[in-house]
Structure 1
Amino acid sequence: MFSPTTLALPDQALLMVIRPPPHDLSSLHRLDAAGWAALAARATSANLAPLLFYTLRHEGVLDLAPAEVRQRLSEEYYASVRRQLLFSTELEPVLATLRSHGVVPLLLKGVVLAETTYPDVGLRPMADIDILVHAADLPRVRQALQPLGYYTTATGAETNDEFFNGELSFAKGTHTETLALEFHQNLVHHWNFTAPLKIDSDALWQRAQPLTLAGQPVVQLAAEDMLLHLCLHRAMHHGFTGLPGYVDIAWMTATQRTRINWERLTARARTYQAEAIVFLALQLAHDLLGAAVPENTLRALAPAPWRQRLLLRLVDLELILTVDVAPAQEDAGRVLNVAVIDTLPGVIAWLWQRLFPGVRWQKTNYALDSTIHAYAYALLLHPLRIVGGFAARAARVALRSKAFSQYRS
Structure 2
Amino acid sequence: MSLSSLPGEAQLLLLAAGGPSTDPAILRLLDGALDWNRLCHLAELEQAAPVLVERLRCLQPALDPGTGLRRMAQVMTFNQQLLRQRLYRTLDALDGAGMDVVLLKGAGLAHSAYARFTDRPMADIDLLVAPECVAPAREVLLASGWIHNRDRRPEDVYRQHHHLPPLDDAAGAPISVELHTDICLPGHPFRLPPEAVRRRARRIQVEERTVLVPDAHHQLLHACIHFAWGHQMTRGAWRTFRDLAAIAGTGQVDWDRFITLARESRGTTCCFWTLYLARAVAAIEVPAPVLQALRPSMTELLLRTLERHFTLGLLPTAASCPSVRLRNMMWRLGLQPERSGHGDALPWSGSRRNFHRAAPQGGRLASAVQRLARHASHAVHSPRYLLNLR
Same fold (TM over 0.5): yes
Provide, for residues 197-252 of structure 1, a one-character-per-residue CA deviation record: whole Å limited to 9, x for no partner.
Answer: 22233322222111245753221111111011011111233111133233334432
Report which stretch shifted further, 329-338 or 265-274: 329-338
5+ long unaligned stretches in structure 1: 369-387
The residue that corresponds to 1:320 in the other structure is 314
Residue 337 of structure 1, CA deviation: 5.7
Amino acid at match of 2:16: V
Q: Contact conserved, 2:5 with 2:319, CA < 8 A, in 1?
A: no
Q: Report the 3-state secondary structure (helix = DSSP H, G, I; strand = E; otherwise coil) of the residue aligned with 1:305.
A: coil
Provide, for residues 344-378 of structure 1, a one-character-per-residue CA deviation record: whole Å limited to 9, x for no partner.
Answer: 584543279947x69xx97995599xxxxxxxxxx
The residue that corresponds to 2:345 in the other structure is 350
5+ long unaligned stretches in structure 2: 361-370
Q: Report the 3-state secondary structure (helix = DSSP H, G, I; strand = E; otherwise coil) of the residue aligned with 1:58.
A: helix
CA distance in 2 between counterparts of 1:352 and 1:229 reads: 15
The residue that corresponds to 2:163 in the other structure is 167
Residue 15 of structure 1, CA deviation: 3.3
Q: Report the 3-state secondary structure (helix = DSSP H, G, I; strand = E; otherwise coil) of the residue aligned with 2:258.
A: helix
Q: Report the 3-state secondary structure (helix = DSSP H, G, I; strand = E; otherwise coil) of the residue aligned with 2:77.
A: helix
CA distance in 2 between counterparts of 1:266 and 1:397 reads: 42
CA distance in 2 between counterparts of 1:352 and 1:291 reads: 26
TM-score, normalised via structure 1 length: 0.75
- Residue 90 to residue 323, structure 1, CA distance change in 2 (3 Å): farther
Q: Contact conserved, 2:113 with 2:247, CA < 8 A, in 1?
A: no
Residues 1:127 and 2:126 are matched in the alignment: no
Q: Report the 3-state secondary structure (helix = DSSP H, G, I; strand = E; otherwise coil) of the residue aligned with 1:51.
A: helix
CA distance in 1 between counterparts of 2:307 and 2:380 reads: 9
Q: Report the 3-state secondary structure (helix = DSSP H, G, I; strand = E; otherwise coil) of the residue aligned with 2:179.
A: strand
Residue 58 of structure 1, CA deviation: 2.9
Q: Report the 3-state secondary structure (helix = DSSP H, G, I; strand = E; otherwise coil) of the residue aligned with 2:385.
A: coil
Residue 187 of structure 1, CA deviation: 1.3
Residue 54 of structure 1, CA deviation: 1.1
Q: CA RMSD in A?
A: 4.1
- Residue 303 to residue 42, structure 1, CA distance change in 2 (3 Å): same
Amino acid at match of 1:221: P
Q: Report the 3-state secondary structure (helix = DSSP H, G, I; strand = E; otherwise coil) of the residue aligned with 2:34.
A: helix
Residues 1:57 and 2:46 are matched in the alignment: no
Residues 1:399 and 2:382 are matched in the alignment: yes
Residues 1:299 and 2:292 are matched in the alignment: yes
Amino acid at match of 2:202: Q
Amino acid at match of 2:109: L
Residue 85 of structure 1, CA deviation: 0.8
Q: Report the 3-state secondary structure (helix = DSSP H, G, I; strand = E; otherwise coil) of the residue aligned with 2:127.
A: strand
Q: Contact conserved, 2:269 with 2:295, CA < 8 A, in 1?
A: yes
Q: Contact conserved, 1:77 with 1:122, CA < 8 A, in 2?
A: no
The residue that corresponds to 2:366 in the other structure is none
Q: Report the 3-state secondary structure (helix = DSSP H, G, I; strand = E; otherwise coil) of the residue aligned with 1:315.
A: helix
Provide, for residues 53-81 of structure 1, a one-character-per-residue CA deviation record: whole Å limited to 9, x for no partner.
Answer: 1112334x131x3x4x2544432322222
Residues 1:266 and 2:259 are matched in the alignment: yes
Provide, for residues 278-297 of structure 1, a one-character-per-residue CA deviation record: whole Å limited to 9, x for no partner.
Answer: 10111011111111111100
- Residue 135 to residue 278, structure 1, CA distance change in 2 (3 Å): same
Provide, for residues 34-67 of structure 1, a one-character-per-residue CA deviation record: whole Å limited to 9, x for no partner.
Answer: 42625455434433222221112334x131x3x4
The residue that corresponds to 2:15 in the other structure is 16
Q: Contact conserved, 1:250 with 1:290, CA < 8 A, in 2?
A: no
Task: Work out the number of aligned pairs and report it.
Answer: 369
CA distance in 2 between counterparts of 1:168 and 1:324 reads: 35
Q: Contact conserved, 2:13 with 2:238, CA < 8 A, in 1?
A: no
- Residue 341 to residue 141, structure 1, CA distance change in 2 (3 Å): farther
TM-score, normalised via structure 2 length: 0.78
Residue 343 of structure 1, CA deviation: 3.7
Q: Contact conserved, 2:228 with 2:270, CA < 8 A, in 1?
A: yes
CA distance in 1 between counterparts of 2:22 and 2:340 reads: 44
CA distance in 2 between counterparts of 1:210 and 1:268 reads: 21
CA distance in 2 between counterparts of 1:275 and 1:314 reads: 20
CA distance in 1 between counterparts of 2:207 and 2:354 reads: 40
Match runs of 1:384-395 below 5 Å: none
- Residue 336 to residue 347, structure 1, CA distance change in 2 (3 Å): farther
Residue 96 of structure 1, CA deviation: 1.1
**Identity of paired residues, percent?**
23
- Residue 150 to residue 26, structure 1, CA distance change in 2 (3 Å): closer
CA distance in 2 between counterparts of 1:121 and 1:143 reads: 27
CA distance in 2 between counterparts of 1:43 and 1:362 reads: 29
- Residue 26 to residue 196, structure 1, CA distance change in 2 (3 Å): closer
Amino acid at match of 1:140: P
CA distance in 2 between counterparts of 1:140 and 1:319 reads: 41
Q: Report the 3-state secondary structure (helix = DSSP H, G, I; strand = E; otherwise coil) of the residue aligned with 2:126.
A: strand
CA distance in 2 between counterparts of 1:164 and 1:87 reads: 27
The residue that corresponds to 1:35 in the other structure is 34
Q: Contact conserved, 1:106 with 1:218, CA < 8 A, in 2?
A: yes
CA distance in 1 between counterparts of 2:196 and 2:26 reads: 45
Residues 1:196 and 2:192 are matched in the alignment: no
Higher helix proportion: 1
Q: Report the 3-state secondary structure (helix = DSSP H, G, I; strand = E; otherwise coil) of the residue aligned with 2:23.
A: coil
Residue 170 of structure 1, CA deviation: 3.7
Report which stretch shifted further, 327-336 or 163-172: 327-336
Q: Report the 3-state secondary structure (helix = DSSP H, G, I; strand = E; otherwise coil) of the residue aligned with 2:52.
A: helix
Q: Contact conserved, 2:321 with 2:385, CA < 8 A, in 1?
A: no
The residue that corresponds to 1:46 in the other structure is 46
Q: Report the 3-state secondary structure (helix = DSSP H, G, I; strand = E; otherwise coil) of the residue aligned with 1:320.
A: coil
- Residue 403 to residue 217, structure 1, CA distance change in 2 (3 Å): farther
- Residue 332 to residue 109, structure 1, CA distance change in 2 (3 Å): farther
- Residue 19 to residue 145, structure 1, CA distance change in 2 (3 Å): same
